[in-house]
Amino acid sequence: MQNDTNLMTVGDYRKKIIFFAIPVFIGNLFQQMYNTADSLIVGNLVGSSALAAVSSTGSIIFLVIGFFMGFSMGAGVVIGRNIGAGDKVNISKAVHTTVAMGLFFSVVISFLGVSFCTTLLRWMQTPVEVFSQASLYLRIYFAGSAGLIMYNTFVGILQASGDSRHPLYYLIFSSIVNIILDVFFIIVFHMGVDGAALATIISQFLSMSLALHRLTHTNEDIRIELKKISIDVDTMKEIITFGLPTALQACVIDLANLLIQSYINSFGALAMAGIGAYSKLEGFSFLPVTSFSMAMSTFVSQNFGAKKKERMREGIRFGLISAVICIECIGLLFYLFAPVLMKGFNPDPDVIFYGVERARICSLFYCLLGFSHVTSAVMRGVGKPMAPMVVMLVCWCAVRVIVLFTIGRIYHNIYLIFWIYPITWGLSSIAYLWYMRKLKKTGVL
C-alpha cells in the first residue's frame, strides 16, 4: 500500500515540494561534500598534478554513467504516473523492470569503462604528466561502477514514490564513510588517486546495500521481490520512450563536455586543476536546482497521472520561482567569496586564478541555469521528454562545441570557455520559456 505521506497528489503542494526538496538538497550536499573531499584531500596531500588527474576524469565518468541515468529518470516518470493513478500492478512491473535494466547496464558500463578509459584520455589530449594517474583513477572507478549505478536505481525508485528522506540517510552515511576512507587510504597507506577512487566505490556499495534493504522490506507498492526482477517488454518500451531522449541528452551533453575538457587541457595542468576545482564548488551552487528539479519531476508526474492539472500548474509556478531565487542568491555569495574558497583546494596562485576567473563570470548567471533545469524536469513529468532533449542538444552541445572548435581555434583564449556557459544558459532559457507558453496554450499545462 502506498504511504499517503509520500504522495504528492494530496495536501499543501508547497509543503510537499519543499519537504521533498529539502532532504534531496541535504543529501546532495553530503554527496557533493565527499566528491569535493576527494579533490581537497588529493589536491593538498598528493599535489596539483593529482588534482588535475582526478578533475579531468569527471567528463568521462558523466559521459558513461549519464546515459543510464537518463533511463532512470524515464523510469521515475513511469513509476510516478502509476503511483498517481493508483495502478499497483504496473507499479510493480515498472519497479522490477527498472532494477533489471540497472543490472544489465552495470555490467555493460563496467566493461566499457575499464576497456576504453585510456583511449578516451588520449582522445581528450590529457597531458602526459597527469595521464597515468587519471587512467588509474578511471580504471578503479569503472571497475566498481555497479555500486553507483544500482544505488541511483534504487534511490530513483524511492524518490518516484515521494520518499526523499531515506536517500538522505544513505547519502549522509556514504559521505562520512567516503571521507574517512579517503584519509585512511591516502595518509595511512600512502596511496594516491587510487585510494580516492577506492574510497568512492566502497562507500557507494555500502549505501546501495542500505537502499536495497529498504526496498526489499517496505510494505509499500514499490517493494522489490528478488524473484520478480525481470524485464516486462511493454513497461521497458514505456521507460525507453520517456528515458531515451533524456539518456541521449545526458550522453551528448557529456560528450560535448568531453570535447570542452580537451580544449581546457590545451591550457595545461594548472588550468585543468583550477577549473576542475571550480567545478567542484559549482556543484554546491547547483544543489537547490537539482533538488527542486527532482521534486518537480516527481510532483508533476504523480499529479499528471492523477489528472490534477490545476494543482500541477500551481506547483510548477512555486517550484520555478523558488529554485531561481535560491540559486541566484548562492551565485552572489559564490561571486564574493570565490578567492577564499579556491585557496582551499590548492595554494598555487595560477590554480586559484583560473578558478576565480571562471567563478566571477559564471556565478551571476546561475538564475538562467536554474530556470532551464527546472523547466526541463517539468516537461519530462508531463511526458514531453523530446523538447528538453532538442533544446539541450542545440544550446548546450552544438553551440558550445561549434564556437570552441571554430572561433576557439583562431582565438585560443581561456575566457572563451568561461563565457560560453552563461551565453548558452540564456539561449536555453529563451527556448524553454517559448515552449512552456506553447504547452499552456495547448492545455497540457
Q: Which residues of 198-226 are buried (b: 16+ CB within 10 A; e: fewer)?
A: bbbbbbbbbbbebbbebbeebebbbbbee
Q: Where are the domains of the chain?
A: 13-441
Q: What pTM, to 2 d.p., does this model score?
A: 0.72
Q: How far is CA 203 from the centre of its chain?
A: 18
Which residue is listed with cell 539518456? 247
Please give the backbone phi and psi of residue 266, each rounded to the nearest 5 degrees, phi first: -65, -15
User: What does the pLDDT look like over 283-327, one tens digit per residue?
Assistant: 777 778 888 888 888 888 888 888 888 888 899 999 899 989 989
Residue 23: pLDDT band with limits 50, 70, 90: confident
Neighbours of 311 (CB within 10 A): 18
Q: What is the percentage of the chain residues whose pLDDT exceeds 90?
A: 11
d(CA 93, CA 96): 5
Is 80 exceeded by the pLDDT of residue 79?
Answer: yes
Q: What is the percentage of the chain residues whose pLDDT exceeds 70?
A: 90
User: What does the pLDDT look like over 249-260, one tens digit per residue?
Assistant: 777 776 777 778
| CA dist list (Å): 322 to 9, 158, 285, 318, 327 | 20, 23, 14, 6, 9
Higher pLDDT, 403 or 64: 403
